[in-house]
Amino acid sequence: MKSPEVYSLLKIELAPWFKSEGFKRAKGLLSWTRPHGDAHIVVWCQVSQYGWDPYAGSQFIVEFQRSSEPVIGYGYKNAHRERIALLLSPEEREEVRRIQNSVIASLQHPPANHPILHFTQEVTDIYVKQFKAVSEPYPERNDIWFRYASPEHITQWAHFIIGRLPKCVAIAESWSNLSMPANVF
């Protein structure tokens, strides 16, 4: 799945929620913004820069930002931003792990003659690790990218995200532009 297809599927699923909550499309990636007082709440999805692998699939992340400008990734001096996993409760991170492991279990393993399996041991180990289930709960401050290999995975992640958007947007609205709230849960 090329990134335009992923963005298109995510847009189909996520856009109705954002529209109903007064967000408008922002410039860059798949992003939305809404004014909040003298600031802007910006939310975006970003597909991994490492691209698509026919066996391991790929991954994407969702970020939230409160900033003085409605621009994704706006400078840290006038913004506060966090990725979605850092805004989730332990129970929600367990739900992420369950979905992640479901995606991983559905992956088709590469054939023994796959070229990447015949590089250095370090490269092979990194590649093969993508096919192993996440065995431990995600730590509180862990950066979690959502894995996918099919349109169904994107839809499943989108439904998970939609269920967390109200809480995550409320958390982002509570941030000052320069500091992290004491408790995000």
Per-residue pLDDT of the chain (185 residues; tens, 9 = 90+): 889 999 999 999 999 999 999 999 998 889 999 999 999 999 999 999 888 889 999 999 999 999 988 888 876 667 899 999 999 999 999 999 999 999 999 999 988 888 778 888 888 888 889 899 999 999 988 899 999 999 999 999 999 999 999 999 999 999 975 444 434 44
Residue in the block written with tokens 């250095």: 120
pLDDT at 118: 81
Who contacts 55 (Cβ-Cβ below 8 Å, separation ≥6)?
107, 108, 109, 110, 114, 131
Pick left, alpha or beta for residue 56 (phi over 0 → left; psi -120 to 50 → alpha; otherwise beta): alpha
DSSP string, 134-156: --SPPPTT----EEESSHHHHHH
Both tokens assigned to 55: 């066996």
pLDDT at 74: 73
Residue in the block written with tokens 């709440």: 41
Enter the DSSP assignment of 56. T
Report whether 66 contacts 39 (CB < 8 A).
yes
Query: Would you say the C-alpha torsion 129, 131, 135, 140 has a positive or negative sign?
Result: positive
Q: What predicted TM-score, i.e. pTM, was given to this entire model?
A: 0.88
Both tokens assigned to 75: 């400078």
Residue 88 CA, distance from chain mean position: 12
pLDDT at 155: 97
